[in-house]
Amino acid sequence: MARILITSALPYINGIKHLGNLVGSQLPADLYARYCRARGHEVMFICATDEHGTPAELAAAKAGKPVAQYCAEMHSVQTELANGFKLSFDHYGRSSSARNHTLTQHLAARLAAAGLIEEVAEKQVYSNADGRFLPDRYIEGTCPNCGYERARGDQCENCTKQLDPIDLINPRSAISGSTDLEVRDTKHLFLRQSKLRDTLDQWIDSQQGWPVLTTSIAKKWLHDGDGLQDRGITRDLDWGVPVQFDGAPWQGMDGKVFYVWFDAPIEYIAATAEWADAQGLDDSAWQRWWREDMGADDVRYVQFMGKDNVPFHTLSFPATLMGANFDKSEPWKLVDYIKSFNYLNYDGGQFSTSLGRGVFMDQALSILPADYWRWWLLSHAPENNDSEFTWENFQASVNKDLADVLGNLVSRVTKFCRSKFGEVVPEGGALGAREAQLVDDLAKGLDSYQKVMDAMMVRRSAQDLRALWVLGNEYLQEAAPWSTFKTDPESAAAQIRLSLNLIRFYAVISQPFIPDAAARVMEAINCDDWSWPDDVASALNMLPAGHAFTVPEVLFAKITDDQRAEWEAQFSGQT
């Protein structure tokens, strides 16, 4: 049994996330966490709401609420939606927690002791209309690299290039929209991550099998232009972690807070500590996941995120943890594998909150159960390229994969058994060569499925799972127990006994993708044994003759053309 630590990039607190956000981090992380647990591994799956920085302040101001109140309310909303999508976090924390404040300030003190914090006098944009300095994300403009007109002052979402606010063309305040901006002198603290460039470069080179998307972005930031730049870690904001070092103020930094991208990844650790607190456990319970001198040396740490988050997780956060261990007294656990994703677009364009274009998490759950969305999103995950949601594709995938293949098999087998043998597993005679071939095919298919799941190949895993469902349908079509029954009821009973066991087999291996449907199937067949089918032949004998079951309701209803057309219009963003 392995110990596996899994973190998903933290969703911003500033509103309900759309399906592209969901499939870019939290959902595939949940898939992997569920799979690892099913295989018997010890898993710690951590996420939290990212509550500091510009997005939180702007959203709270727009809502007319104090930022602390707004964040608390939105944390509850996002928690409810995560539960709705059956995201199986061990803890879903908050970056505004006391734990994160304390740990962020402690790591900053360690970095200062290592000589990796520098006070820098710099020029920063000041908005006369707003009467304040504008931190990077409070400034929008045109990216000088790609021409994207809504680039932020820290990074362009379109090309991922790291920016400074003064780099933007035609800058404007994200608060008021004012262009009455000027550059003034101010002071901030910088993480001297450039001093760790070679160490980071060698560390990245030592990692095995990272996605090309992950390493290419990291290498670009390390080597393009002048190479890895030092990074400001403080901002002129009211809401955030105060700039203190183990409780002691840094002179001249009054009224400033740590930059959200400094404290947000630290919340992975803090949220694990929050989990321990909630369980009534001492610090050793979370330190065994994060401190290599406390047992984390045997942990495999996997992160999931969209490509825009890669630079901070391959460079800045590792630099923080490496720098904090300058004297070898705090060996923090570094990530072992980063699974990054491209973007999911919406029907020929981008998701847009302001235009009401695309499907957001609450809307999705209001029209269909979570499993419909989980299956489509994971089977179309934007791994190697950007992918696109269309209603035609969604309808076809739900109908052909879930309803026609898996749902149809469950319905046909259980209903036929009820009509001919009652709601119990029949005894029947011996199985033949065709059944032996099915077992062999399933064993090969399961081996492939496990390998690609272990490798976190999300789309390929969905393809392999569907292929396993297809094997059962092909067997049912060829065996045709409804025809066999007419001349050889004993053989038909044996075929149905095998098929009922096959249903349990499918529920167990499908649970990481479609947990609700899997649970409904297991409830219908009256089984609570979720043990993974390490031996297929044995797994297909789990339900003995005489075992009672019930016929489940329709597992997956087909999406009609009228429904598709209605939803396409509803979420088009057109008025």
List binding-site positions: 143, 146, 156, 159, 353
Q: Is 147 helix (H, G, I), strand (E, B) or coil?
A: coil
For the chain, what percentages of helix, strand and coil (3-state, to nearest 5) are there?
50, 15, 35
Distance, in Å, from the CA atom of 250 to the CA atom of 258, rounded to the nearest integer, reads 12
What's the sign of the alpha-carbon dihedral 310, 314, 320, 321? positive
| Strand partners of residue 121 | 187
Residue type, 449: Y
Residues 184 and 126 sit within 8 Å (Cβ to Cβ): yes
- What is the CA angle 414-420-425, rounded to 5? 55
Helix (H) or strand (E) segment spanning residue 370: helix 370-379
Residues tagged in the binding site annotation for ATP:
353
Q: Which of 114, 501, 574 is nearest to 330 (CA)?
A: 114
Q: Which of 255, 258, 261, 224 is nearest to 241 (CA)?
A: 258
| Entry field: residues in the chain | 575
Residues 88 and 52 sit within 8 Å (Cβ to Cβ): no
Residues tagged in the binding site annotation for Zn(2+):
143, 146, 156, 159
Q: Which residue has the tokens 């009054």?
A: 254
Q: Which of 134, 136, 129, 130 is nearest to 151 (CA)?
A: 136
Q: Which of 32, 17, 12 is nearest to 304 (CA)?
A: 32
Residues 362 and 328 sit within 8 Å (Cβ to Cβ): no
How many helices (DSSP H) and strands (DSSP E) are in the chain?
22, 18
